[in-house]
Every structure is written in structure tokens, then in C-alpha cells.
Structure 1
Amino acid sequence: MSDADSTADLVEGNHRHWDERVAIHTRSPFYDLDGFRAGAEPLDRFQLDELGDVTGLDLVHLQCHIGLDTLSWARHGARVSGLDFSEAAVRAASGLAADIGLDHRARFVAADVHDAVDVFGAGAFDVVYTGTGALMWLPDIERWARTAAGLLRPGGRLYLAEFHPLADVLDDGDGVTAVHDYFARGARTYEVSGSYADWEAETTHNTATEWHHTLGDVISAVAGAGLRIEFVHEHGTIAFRRCDALVADGGRFRYPDRSARLPLTYSLAASAPS
């Protein structure tokens, strides 16, 4: 079997994994769809501040899952498109858009992220957005960056908010001890039942594969795709309890006061040539 065939098999395993978890996520308190329908804001404050006013802009959300972040940008005035490889996730996102009356300015498409230019057309968007928990599912970060660049109009912006890759190597308990090699690349396949949204849920497709990309990998890929890096910001909060040491803080989690702190998420903005 070639490396390409092996990678395709791993991605297909992830496809089955995520398809199965859509139903778990749509009914879970973690995503709280009832709260979202009532107006709750799932985006971090720093995302809203950093990306700024999106009124009237065409925004595409790559790897959009069930569409909460996508539709949040629509609520803030953007015309949005969401793309995800899970057909079940796209159906859920489309249904949610109809529920909140935004189906006229939101569309969702099931496709591989690397096919996004073929799906939407080159230079179709003012903003390409990627939210937390997306990049580790991609085997080729450089190919992803080229795809993002291909979707942008002249002067358009790539904006991503993502889990900090340093967090991937830290102990699940104390959150500060390194237990994995930060510089190790390649596929990491593991078995996990349930979901981060409901660990007690019964699941069948429990094999998942992630690919570790360092912060330098991501920055270099974006720059290599011809985009100009505007900023890279590191943040001390995260949307879920990544390790036991974290404490709740206004719907997010952070390290306790007077403890050693490490970055938990980061954000990056880059612009296409005008």
C-alpha cells in the first residue's frame, strides 16, 4: 500500500468517526444548541476583536462541523459558507441555519477541505476562517494553506483560532509536564469511545488519527502559500478542560492564578496580496 493510500484510509476512518458523533454533539450540553438558538455566543471574545467587523463580507468556514461558529459570523453580518467532510454535520448545520432564520445567508457543503476551491471557485471569499480543533485532522498543512490562499480575493484575510500545539504534548493531569515530543510529526492513531461532548455515549467507530503540526509548521505553511502574516497571538484560555489542572472562567478554562501558565490556544491572521 502506498503512503497516499494509507493516508486516505486514515482520513476515511476519521470520516466515519465524525459522522457518528454528530448526533451526540447536536444533543449535548457541550454544544447547547438550544442556547445557541436563543442567541448564545460561542466565539471567543478575542476572535471577534481580532477579525473585526465582518458585515457584508463573504466568509467561508473550513471544517465547520455542525456550524455554530459559522452561523455566529452570519449573526455578526457576514454571508457565510461552511464546508465539512461529514455529510451528517452539514445536514445538522443546514437545519440549524433554518431554525434561526439564517438559511438565506448561509450555505453548507459536504466535501473534502482540499476540494474547496473546486467547490466554491478561486478567489470567492473575503475571509477564510478556521476554528479550534481543525488542523490536527489534516495530514498536509502546506496543502491546506494553499487551499486557503486560493479561496481568497485580493486583499482578503485568512483568520484561524486553534488549540496551541504545545498543549498536545502536555500531561493530561498537571498540564505543564511534557510527556510527548513536540517535534514529532506523522500520524498518531488511537482508540477513543464516546466524545469530548459526552464521554458516556455509546459509539462504534472509535478509531481516530491526528497529525501534529507545530506552530512553526503552520506559520511557515501560510507564508509559503503567499499570504502575509499579520499577527500570531497566543492565549491562556481554551473552550474545554484540556487538563485536570485548569479551572473554569466565564465559559472557558485557564490555568489557576499563581501557577505556571502555558498557551492553550493561538490565533493567526494573514492577508492575500492586493
Structure 2
Amino acid sequence: MYSTTPTDWLETNRKRWDERVPIHLASDFYDVASFRAGKDALRDFERAEVGDVRGKSLLHLQCHVGMDTLSWARHGASRVVGLDFSEPAVEAARDFAAELGLTPEQATFVAADVYDAAQVVPDPSYDIVYTGVGALCWLPDIQRWAETAASLVAPGGFLYLAEFHPLTDILDDATGSRLEHDYFAREAWVEEDPAGYVDSDTPTVHNRSVEWQHPIGEVVSALAAAGLRIDFLREHDMTLYRRFGALEIRDGAYRFPEDRPRVPLMYSLKASKV
């Protein structure tokens, strides 16, 4: 339900994510064994849209356990830095980096609030600032996020964002065919729910979450106002987990059945600093 923003929103969300790190590491969704064996954690469209990262520095904001971050290192990024507000997640990322034989100069992980990134990451700017899927909904202030991210993009570099489409936040969970929420709502969405995108029978204590929905226009406008040039905005008819009961696995991703009209489930954008 929507409500006014609780004063403890940051700590509430941090406790939820801290508790779920071991659950995620043990889950089929993250498939840690395959990642250790060399499987790429990135999506095909991300690799295609970001392009060649060889010899480039990359900062991953809100990196969780670092599997996406380290996948960029496997693709040749000369230096990757991951930042997340969950200390257990950052510790897991550091363990993965050590297992891959990467030095701190090649892969560094920092535990901090994303809004403080410019003050805590080891370098003042990066060729690529990357934000992976499912990050923006945990932030109340997109303008502040955009200003922070833009400040960390090196001249000639770019920000790349892949996200769940905000349209999915207003559709019903069962079928994804009915409008149930206000697309333009700005209030916090506070829920008490043990479920998440990773299936698990593990009992959990910290089930409360505080989230926000951010229409695409708000995100694009914030990045433009922060001084970045929007190179492209693309929408995708697939997603990464069963967000709606009607979704089915097709062509390696969750999509609506072929006999249904398509709607955007994810989007991606690239914004450069010229």
C-alpha cells in the first residue's frame, strides 16, 4: 500500500536485504555454482548495448552480491568497482572476486548508501557507470541519484541503466492485465511481505520494505538535468522472473503468452557525458 515515507526507510530496507543475501546465494535464481564455473550473469541485451568494455573502468551502483559486476570484469573491464548498502552482500562480492583471482586494483567492493557514492568510491570518475535491474525502486529521490551517478561518469563516458519497466508496478500480480495502481503516485509503497523474486522456504524476520515507483519520464528528465545526453531509451517485452502469474518462459526469458498483446516489462537506456 502507499503511505507517507517512514523515517526508518533506509534501515528497514537494509535489514531486509542483509537477511536475504544467504537466501539468494543458495537459490536456483542466482545459480552461484554456474557463475563460479564461468556462466555470465549479464543479459544478452545489456552486453550488446554496453558494447566492448575491454580496458575500461566500470562502477556498478547497487551491485548486490557482485555477480553482474564481476561478469563485466570477465568481459575485459580493466577495473570494476561495486557499491551496495548491504555489508553481507559486499562481503559476498569480495569473496567472489577473490575466488576469481582478481586483485583489489581489478575489483573493489564498497559498502555504502548509493547517495554517498561520490564520497566513498576509490576513483573520482569511470568510463562506465552501470546500474543493474531492480535498483531504482529502493530510492526516494531520483534527481539526487541522477546527479550522483552523472558526477561519477568520466568525460566521454556513459551511464547505462537496465530496469524493470514502471508499468509493471501498476498491473495486477495474477494476470498483469488489469490496472490496479496509480502510475504517477509518488508516495512510498510500504509492504509487509516475506515473498520476493527468489523462491525460498526459509523463514524470514525482516519482511517489511519501503519502495517507490519512478515513471520513465522522471528518470530520463533527471539524467538530462544532471548534464547527461540521452543516447537511447529502449523497451523490452521480457523480464527476469515471474512477476505475473501469466508469464511463461519463452526464448530464455519470462514473457506474456504469444496470444496476448505485448507490453513493456523492462527498459534500458544509455546517457553520455560529452
Amino acid at match of 2:83: L
Aligned to 1:17: 16
Q: Does 1:127 align with 2:150?
A: no
Letter in 2 for 1:37: R
Is the CA contact 1:189–1:207 (under 8 Å) kept in the aligned structure 2? yes
Change (3 A) 1:152 1:122: farther
- Equivalent positions of 1:142-153 (< 5 A) are 142-153=143-154
2:94 match: 94
Q: Equivalents in 2 of 1:215, 1:50: separation in Å?
A: 18
Deviation (angstroms), 1:103: 4.1
- Quote the Cα distance in structure 2 between the aligned partners of 1:37 and 1:122: 28
Unaligned stretches of 5+ in structure 1?
A: none
Q: Conserved in 2, the CA contact under 8 Å of 1:194 and 1:202?
A: no
Percent identity, please. Answer: 55
Q: How many residues matched? A: 269
Match of 2:166 in 1: 165
Q: How far does the alpha carbon of each residue in 1:77-100 deviate from its partner, in whole angstroms, 9 at most, with x for none? A: 112000000000000011011122
Q: Does the Cα contact within 8 Å between 1:165 and 1:214 map onto a contact in 2? A: yes
- Of 138-147 and 249-258, the range deviating more from structure 2: 249-258
Question: TM-score with structure 2 length normalisation?
Answer: 0.94
Question: What is residue 76 of structure 1 aligned with on the other side?
Answer: 75
* Alignment deviations for residues 94-148 of structure 1 (CA, whole Å, 9 cap, x no partner): 1011122234511100001011111126742011000100000000000000000
Closer, same or farther in 2 for the Cα pair 1:102/1:122, shift >3 Å? closer
Q: Is the 8 A contact 1:93 1:108 kept in 2?
A: yes
Give the alignment of 1:1-274 within 5 angstroms: 8-78=7-77, 79-104=79-104, 105-120=106-121, 123-273=124-274
Separation of aligned partners in 2, 1:209 and 1:22 = 18
Deviations 1:52-79 (A, max 9, x none): 0000111000000001110111111112
Q: Counterparts of 1:141 and 1:93 in 2: how far apart (Å)? A: 26
- The residue type equivalent to 1:232 in the other structure is L
Partners of 2:133 and 2:164 within 8 A in 1: yes
Equivalent residue letter for 1:88: P
In the TM superposition, residue 254 of structure 1 has moved relative to its aligned partner by 0.8
C-alpha separation in 1, matches of 2:37 and 2:250:
22
* Whole-Å separation in 1 of the counterparts to 2:116 and 2:93: 19
Q: Distance in 1 between matches of 2:54 and 2:6?
A: 39
Classify the secondary structure of the residue corresponding to 2:8.
Answer: helix
Output the amino acid matched with 2:225: G
Shift of the alpha carbon at 1:258? Answer: 2.2
Q: Note the residue ranges of structure 2 that are not aligned, 5 or more in a row.
A: none
- Segments of 4+ in structure 1 off by > 6 A? none
Using a 3 Å threshold, how does the CA distance of structure 1 residues 180 and 170 change in structure 2: closer, same or farther? same
CA contact (8 A) 2:110 2:121 kept: no
User: Which whole-Å CA distance do the structure 2 matches of 1:248 and 1:57 have between them?
Assistant: 34
SS of the residue 2:230 aligns to: strand
Contact 1:64–1:82 (CA<8 Å) still a contact in 2?
Answer: yes
Partner Cα separation in structure 1 for residue 168 and residue 201 of structure 2 = 24
Does the 8 A contact of 1:27 with 1:33 survive in 2? yes
Contact 1:237 1:252 in 2 (8 A): yes
User: C-alpha displacement at 1:46, in angstroms?
Assistant: 0.7
1:44, distance to aligned residue in structure 2 (A): 1.2
In the TM superposition, residue 200 of structure 1 has moved relative to its aligned partner by: 1.9
Q: 1:85, 1:110 within 8 Å by CA — same for their partners in 2? A: yes
Q: CA RMSD in A?
A: 1.5
Are the equivalent residues in 2 in contact too, given 1:70–1:80 (CA < 8 A)?
yes
